[in-house]
Chain A
Amino acid sequence: MIETIPAADAATHRAAQPASAAAARGRSRRGALTPYLFVGPAFALLVVFGIVPILVAAGVSVTDLDLRGLGDTDAVRFIGLDNYRRLFGDGEFWSALGNTGIFIALGVPVIIVGSLAVAIALSQSSSRFFRLLTGFYFLPAITAIVAISLIWGYLLNGQFGLINYVLGLIGVDPVPWLSDPMMAKFSVALVAVWRASGLNIVIFLAALQSIPKEYYEAASLDGAGEWRKIISVTVPLLRFAIFFVTVTTLIGWMQFFDEPYVLTRGGPTGSTTSISLYIYQQGFQFNEFGFASAASLVLFVIIFAVTAIQLRARRLSHD
């Protein structure tokens, strides 16, 4: 008797198991579609507007598609690598590439060092006043670029701009901020730095808050002063945040478009035409879709290569 009970138990157990497994299978078969219904719509949109365009760009870049070709697909011809050949022979392309390099050299170091310095200063106190100041620094990051460009265009105006007036008070001659080719590059970069710093300050602040207080206390016990602590404790511990900000800032500036488009339309005489603005002009002002697509793929390859090199360098420095 005693022995049969576990046996009976085992029997019912054995019988129950397939039954519940079948139920589970039945439920999962009914529910097999469920995850796809949840993920599907957003996924489809991302594929259509994120993945498919790359393939379309690659296809279009070997054709002479223009405005006429949009209406009449028979008029579109396959022209092989002609667009790429033309691109590399185009002086304006190289000058746009050069301008983008100058923008990066002017802007990226200032953004990284500047926002790190402001963030470290802001992190010295957690008072309400310092939090309010953080908000002020963040404002440009969330306001529309078009509005920003209008405001700065007015401030930098050569004739009645406020900035030239203030400089005049201390005896500086009027500066042709936006009408001189060299100054225009500087002004456009200045506005971009002003706009981009807030976000990076907030990112650095978040990283600063995650540094344990004990590290600073230990450094104080060792007799380290404020500067010493910043150089020997803060900066090394922010390595990841600094790397992250560098990578994203660099990617952003390689795609530099908004500020030159609205402030100067790439002028005077192409001196502020970035590579992105060049692509936009070829595509949407001259309607050379094939040619512009070729240029956009070249930009993609450059961005991809620079990012890959940075990631590789980081991995090497960690080993």
Chain B
Amino acid sequence: MTSPLARRRARLAPLAILLTVGAVLTAFPFVWMLTTSVKPLSESRQYPPQVLPSEVSLASYQRLFEDLDFGRYLLNTVVVVLISFAGLLLMAMAGYGFAKFRFRGKGVMFALVLATMMIPVQVTMIPTYLLLNGAGLTNTLVGIALPALVSAFSIFLFRQFMMTISDELLEAARLDGASEARVFGSIVLPLSRPILAVQAVLTFIAGWNSFLWPLIIANDEEKYTLAVGLSLLNQQLSINPPLQMAGASLMVVPILIIFAVFSRHVVRGFTMSGLK
């Protein structure tokens, strides 16, 4: 005689084992990346390969910063991410404008915003390069951040969220003599904290990982981001795996930390961007 709980457990156990195997296989490449990054060079090309290093060596990380220019790439990446946060404010403003005001041309403007979601980046990349080149912004960090600074989808999400803010509250603040900027800054933004948190995490991840725009816009090594610098290490494959894996870890570990801390926000954000 088995209890329903025990039966349920027994039914779930094989499933849990299968799922665990799948999860370990999915995450294994990251384990391999981390362990290889601290291996001495000779050991990384050893046959048979060892998962765990015999000794921990930080030489590869040291080389990234001393012989190669990864310190600069890291700094450039941080600057690009910071610039993208300015875009976050612009998108919140636009979402508020579309959610809470009636104005001439609103329908057409909103339709245009949504239309940009359907345009593939391959169509825009050459004209965007030509435009930025004309404006003298190629090979600048602003130029790298600019094409992806605002996204139609985030504006849409801000609008959806801000439509739920009560009109009476905003009207009351206006009657008390608050300026429009103040209404936005001290009522709308604080009330939008949940969506801001989600968007901030997504903006960080997108800016940190972005590859295509830095690749196209940055011609000069001075302006490379981590992603572009790392893609140059690609040619080193047969020569120096630990160096490559150290570079990869430098890009991946901050995102893993962000994910561990904000996983709820991240998953919710991606789900929203998926289902709407």
A residues at B contact (CB < 8 Å): 31-32, 34-39, 41-43, 45-54, 56-57, 60, 70, 118, 121-122, 124-125, 129-130, 133-155, 157, 159-160, 162, 165, 194, 198-200, 202-203, 205-207, 226, 241, 244-245, 248, 251, 254-255, 257-258, 262, 275-276, 279-280, 283-284, 289, 292-293, 296-297, 299-300, 303-304, 307
Given the interface contacts A34-B101, A147-B33, A153-B237, does A39 sit within 8 Å of B124 by beta carbon?
Answer: no
B191 interface residue (CB < 8 Å to A): no
B residues at A contact (CB < 8 Å): 11-12, 15-16, 18-20, 22-24, 26-27, 29-30, 32-33, 36, 44-49, 87, 90-91, 93-94, 96-98, 101-103, 106, 109, 112-113, 115-116, 118-131, 133, 146-147, 149-150, 152, 155, 180, 184, 205, 208-209, 211-212, 216, 226-227, 230-231, 233-234, 237-238, 241, 244-245, 247-249, 251-252, 255-256, 259, 263, 266-267, 270-271, 274-275
Please, how many angstroms separate the alpha-carbon atoms of A143 and B230 in the complex?
13
Complex interface: chain A residues within 8 A of B29 (CB):
140, 148, 151-152, 155
Q: Cβ of A133 and Cβ of B211 under 8 Å apart?
A: no
Complex interface: chain A residues within 8 A of B205 (CB):
142
Complex interface: chain A residues within 8 A of B245 (CB):
150-151, 154
Q: Cβ of A151 and Cβ of B32 under 8 Å apart?
A: yes
Complex interface: chain A residues within 8 A of B127 (CB):
52-54, 56-57, 60, 293
Please, how many angstroms separate the alpha-carbon atoms of A151 and B247 in the complex?
10
User: 7 closest A-B pairs (Cβ-Cβ)?
Assistant: A50-B116, A38-B97, A35-B101, A56-B127, A53-B127, A39-B97, A42-B94
* Nearest B residue (CB) for A297: B123
Q: Cβ of A32 and Cβ of B103 under 8 Å apart?
A: yes
The answer, among B106, B122, B256, for a CB contact under 8 Å with A257, is B122
Q: Cβ of B97 and Cβ of A35 under 8 Å apart?
A: yes
Complex interface: chain A residues within 8 A of B227 (CB):
144-146
Please, how many angstroms separate the alpha-carbon atoms of A47 and B131 in the complex?
12
Given the interface contacts A283-B125, A296-B122, does A203 sit within 8 Å of B26 by beta carbon?
Answer: no
Main secondary structure of the interface of B (DSSP, over half): helix
* Nearest B residue (CB) for A254: B120
The answer, among B36, B120, B130, for a CB contact under 8 Å with A300, is B120
Complex interface: chain A residues within 8 A of B119 (CB):
50, 53-54, 300
Complex interface: chain B residues within 8 A of A300 (CB):
119-120, 122-123
Complex interface: chain B residues within 8 A of A162 (CB):
32, 49
Please, how many angstroms separate the alpha-carbon atoms of A38 and B119 in the complex?
24
Given the interface contacts A129-B16, A139-B259, A150-B247, does A60 sit within 8 Å of B126 by beta carbon?
Answer: yes
Q: Cβ of A299 and Cβ of B120 under 8 Å apart?
A: yes
Complex interface: chain A residues within 8 A of B211 (CB):
144-146, 258
* Nearest A residue (CB) for B120: A255
Q: Cβ of A199 and Cβ of B270 under 8 Å apart?
A: yes
Residue with the greatest number of chain B CB neighbours at <10 A, chosen from A36, A38, A143, A296: A38
Please, how many angstroms separate the alpha-carbon atoms of A199 and B274 in the complex?
8
The answer, among B15, B109, B230, for a CB contact under 8 Å with A39, is B109
Complex interface: chain A residues within 8 A of B112 (CB):
43, 46-47, 51
Q: Cβ of B234 and Cβ of A34 under 8 Å apart?
A: no
Complex interface: chain A residues within 8 A of B216 (CB):
284
Min CB distance, B117 to chain A, in Å?
A: 9
Min CB distance, A98 to chain B, in Å?
A: 17
Complex interface: chain A residues within 8 A of B230 (CB):
144, 146-147, 150
Q: Cβ of A138 and Cβ of B49 under 8 Å apart?
A: no
* Nearest A residue (CB) for B36: A154
Q: List 22 A-B contacts (CB under 8 A).
A: A32-B103, A34-B101, A50-B115, A54-B119, A56-B131, A57-B123, A57-B126, A60-B126, A133-B19, A138-B267, A144-B230, A144-B251, A147-B230, A150-B230, A150-B245, A151-B33, A160-B45, A160-B49, A207-B275, A226-B11, A275-B122, A300-B119
The answer, among A53, A160, A199, for a CB contact under 8 Å with B128, is A53
Complex interface: chain B residues within 8 A of A155 (CB):
29, 32
* Nearest B residue (CB) for A149: B234
Please, how many angstroms separate the alpha-carbon atoms of A153 and B116 in the complex?
34
Residue with the greatest number of chain A CB neighbours at <10 A, chosen from B93, B101, B124: B124
Q: Cβ of A165 and Cβ of B48 under 8 Å apart?
A: yes
Please, how many angstroms separate the alpha-carbon atoms of A127 and B209 in the complex?
31
